[in-house]
C-alpha cells in the first residue's frame, strides 16, 4: 500500500495538479486513529507524523462482517449480529476512546458512548449508512465520506460493460471457446442516448467517458430545476422529469445513493416505461432496483440487458434468480480499482485533516438527512 504524500506542511488538492502551500498550524494533543486501510506499514505512519507533527497517529485495523455492516445501514441490528463484531483489546479500546479523529469503514458498537473526545469521522467510501450518520450528528460528530475517490474506475467499469453488451462480446467469447468461426457484429455506439440517474462524482465521470463515444448524454439530478444546465451532460432533468428522460434512453446508468427516495425507484411500473430493449447499469446501490421486477423485465425483453455491480443482498445468495436471468451481467461489487485508491483516499484524509486542524470547513461533509 505504497503512497506518496506532498511535502509536510503543504496541502494538496485531491485530484488536482497544483499544491497549495498552506502551512499546517502546530496543534498539540490531537489523536487520530486510522482503522482502515488495514495494517499500515510503520513507514507510512512515520510519513503521517512528519507531515502532521502536532498529531499522534495510531493504526488499529477494524473490519466488521458484511452481515453486521449491512444491518447497521438498514437499521436492523440485532444482539446476535452485534456479537459478530471484532473484539478489541483493552489497549485498543483506550486508544480509540482518546481519539479526536477516526478514519474508518466500520465503527465498533457503542463507540459514540465511550469515545467522548471524538469530533470527526472520515469514511473510506461514499456509502456511509453503516456508520449511522444521524447518531453521529446527535453526538456532535462530523462525518465526511470519500465521494469521488473511486469515481474514475467505477465509470470505466460502467462504460466498459456497456461496450461489452452492445458489441456482443459474450457471443465472440463463446465462439472462441467453442472453436467456432462465424461472422458476428455488434451495435454502433455512436449516436446512442445514455441517461444517468444520480449526477454526482461517479455520474459525471460516466458522462465524460460516454461523450467520448459521440453519444447523447442525459442527466438526472435530485436538485435540478426546470431550465438548469450542466456542462457534463447534453440535457439535465430534475426529479419530475425522470420518466421523460428515461423514455429516450438506449441505456440507463444508475449511480444514485441509497436514500428513502431511491429505494425501489426502478420498480415494475418504471421498468415498464423504459424504451424497449434498454440496457440498465447499476453501479449505485442495490436497493434502487426491484430485483424481481428486473428479472421479469429481462425475461420479457422489455429490458435488453442488465449490468449489476451491486445487489440488494451481498453476497448474492446462490439461489437468487438474478444468477440465471437472461442477459444478466453480474459482478460482486468490484467496479472500483485497487490501483490508486488508497493514495487518493489518504490525500483526501490529509487534506481534510489540515482543514480540521485549521478549523476550516471539511470536504465531503455528509448530510445525515440525505445519508450522503
Contact between residue 196 and residue 246 where contact means Cβ atoms under 8 Å apart: no
Tell me which residue of 200, 127, 72 sits closest to 371, measured CA to CA.
127
Report how far apart, in Å, the C-alpha atoms of 68 and of each of 63, 83, 92, 293 are. 10, 9, 21, 27
Tell me, rounded to whole angstroms, the distance of Cα 133 from its chain centroid.
16
Q: Does residue 370 have a pLDDT over 80?
A: no
CA–centroid distance for 316 within its chain:
18
Question: For 245-254, what is the mean pLDDT?
Answer: 99
Active-site residue (options: 235, 333, 343, 363): 333
Residue ranges matching CATH 3.40.50.720 in the chain: 11-149+338-357, 151-330
Q: What is the pLDDT at residue 7?
A: 27
Angstrom CA distances, 176 to 166, 169, 172, 182, 184, stand at 18, 11, 6, 10, 12
pLDDT at residue number 37: 76
One of 285, 312, 354, 355 is an active-site residue; which one?
285
Q: Rounded to an integer, what distance in angstroms lies between the CA atom of residue 52 and that of residue 48?
A: 6
For residue 266, list its beta bridge partners: 289
pLDDT of amino acid 28: 54
Stretch 48-53: mean pLDDT: 95
Average pLDDT over residues 309-335: 97
285 is catalytic: yes
Count Cβ atoms within 10 A of the Cβ of residue 190 and give its class: 0-12 exposed, 13-18 middle, 19 or more buried. exposed
What is the number of other CB atoms lying within 10 angstroms of the CB of residue 295? 19
The catalytic position among 208, 314, 343, 363 is 314
pLDDT at 259: 86
The question of whether 314 is a catalytic residue gets the answer yes
170 vs 127, residue with greater confidence: 170
Residue 159 has pLDDT above 80, yes or no: yes
Does the predicted TM-score (pTM) go above 0.75?
A: yes
Between 3.40.50.300, 3.40.50.720, 1.10.1040.10, 3.30.1370.60, what CATH number should domain 151-330 receive? 3.40.50.720
Q: Into which CATH architecture does domain 11-149+338-357 fall? A: 3-Layer(aba) Sandwich (3.40)
pLDDT in tens, 212-232: 999 999 999 999 998 999 999
Amino acid at each position: 500500500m505504497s503512497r506518496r504524500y506532498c511535502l509536510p506542511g503543504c496541502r494538496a488538492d485531491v485530484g488536482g495538479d497544483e499544491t497549495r502551500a498552506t502551512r499546517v498550524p502546530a496543534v498539540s494533543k490531537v489523536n487520530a486513529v486510522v482503522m482502515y486501510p488495514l495494517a499500515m506499514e510503520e513507514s507510512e505512519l512515520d510519513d503521517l507524523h512528519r507531515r502532521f507533527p502536532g498529531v499522534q497517529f495510531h493504526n488499529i485495523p477494524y473490519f466488521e462482517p458484511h452481515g453486521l455492516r449491512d444491518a447497521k445501514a438498514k437499521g436492523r441490528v440485532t444482539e446476535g449480529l452485534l456479537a459478530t463484531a471484532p473484539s478489541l483489546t483493552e489497549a485498543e479500546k483506550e486508544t480509540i476512546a482518546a481519539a479526536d479523529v477516526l478514519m474508518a469503514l466500520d465503527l465498533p458498537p457503542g463507540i459514540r458512548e465511550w469515545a467522548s473526545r471524538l469530533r470527526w469521522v472520515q469514511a473510506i467510501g461514499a456509502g456511509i449508512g453503516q456508520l449511522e450518520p444521524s447518531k453521529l450528528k446527535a453526538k456532535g460528530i462530523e462525518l465526511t465520506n470519500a465521494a469521488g475517490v473511486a469515481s474514475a474506475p467505477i465509470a470505466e467499469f460502467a462504460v466498459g460493460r456497456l461496450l461489452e453488451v452492445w458489441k456482443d462480446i459474450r457471443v465472440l467469447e463463446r465462439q472462441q471457446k467453442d472453436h467456432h468461426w462465424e461472422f458476428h457484429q455488434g451495435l454502433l455506439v455512436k449516436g446512442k442516448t445514455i441517461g444517468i440517474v444520480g449526477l454526482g462524482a461517479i455520474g459525471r465521470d460516466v458522462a465524460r467517458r460516454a461523450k467520448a463515444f459521440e453519444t447523447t448524454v442525459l442527466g438526472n439530478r435530485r436538485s435540478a430545476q426546470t431550465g438548469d444546465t450542466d456542462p457534463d451532460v447534453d440535457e439535465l432533468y430534475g426529479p419530475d422529469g425522470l420518466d421523460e428522460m428515461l423514455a429516450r434512453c438506449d441505456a440507463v446508468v444508475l449511480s444514485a445513493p441509497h436514500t428513502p427516495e431511491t429505494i425501489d425507484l426502478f420498480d415494475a411500473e418504471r421498468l415498464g416505461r423504459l424504451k424497449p430493449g434498454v440496457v440498465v447499469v447499476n453501479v449505485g446501490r442495490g436497493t434502487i432496483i426491484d430485483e424481481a421486477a428486473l428479472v421479469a423485465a429481462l425475461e420479457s425483453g422489455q429490458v435488453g440487458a442488465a449490468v449489476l455491480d451491486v445487489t440488494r443482498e451481498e453476497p448474492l445468495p446462490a439461489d437468487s434468480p438474478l444468477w440465471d436471468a437472461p442477459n444478466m451481467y453480474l459482478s460482486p461489487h468490484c467496479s472500483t480499482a485497487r490501483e490508486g485508491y488508497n493514495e487518493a483516499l489518504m490525500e483526501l484524509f490529509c487534506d481534510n485533516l489540515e482543514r480540521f486542524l485549521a478549523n476550516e470547513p471539511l470536504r465531503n461533509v455528509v448530510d445525515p438527512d440525505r445519508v450522503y
